[in-house]
Amino acid sequence: MAADQGIDIAVEDYSLERRAKRLIVFDVDSTLIQGEVIEMLAARAGAQDTVAAITEQAMRGELDFTASLQQRVAALAGLPAEVLDEVADELQLTPGARTTLRTLRRLGFHIGVVSGGSGRSSSRLPTS
């Protein structure tokens, strides 16, 4: 089943080694924040339909991630750099994300984020 889905599954014994792991990594877009940053930027650039069509092609497996990202970013050509900051300032955490992050920190976990997009937006996430 894991191979069919393209994922890895690990099963571990309940032990001190397993319990000592204290790092949790979250995706940013549509996990920690509401929405996709590239779609928010596309809306500002008037390229929503173009970016949505490219994303759909990628979801159907017609484009790989790199080609999809290159095409979506190309659709944003001419967008002023300040718009990145404006969008980053408007990011809203997904309901429950703040509580989840706070709780995990209180339990001693380190939190990391990964994103297939701009680090500029993920570095501006609310941290408390």
29 belongs to the catalytic site: yes
CA 80/CA 29 separation, integer angstroms:
21
C-alpha 31: how far from chain center: 6
Known catalytic residue at 27? yes
| The one catalytic residue among 27, 49, 64, 85 | 27
**Predicted confidence pLDDT, tens digits, the chain (128 residues):** 567 777 777 777 777 666 777 899 999 998 999 999 999 999 999 999 999 999 999 999 999 989 999 999 999 999 999 999 899 888 999 999 999 999 999 988 999 998 876 666 666 666 55
Output the pTM of the full model: 0.74
Structural domains for the chain: 2-122 (3.40.50.1000)
Written as one letter, the residue type at 25 is V
Catalytic residue among 4, 13, 29, 49: 29
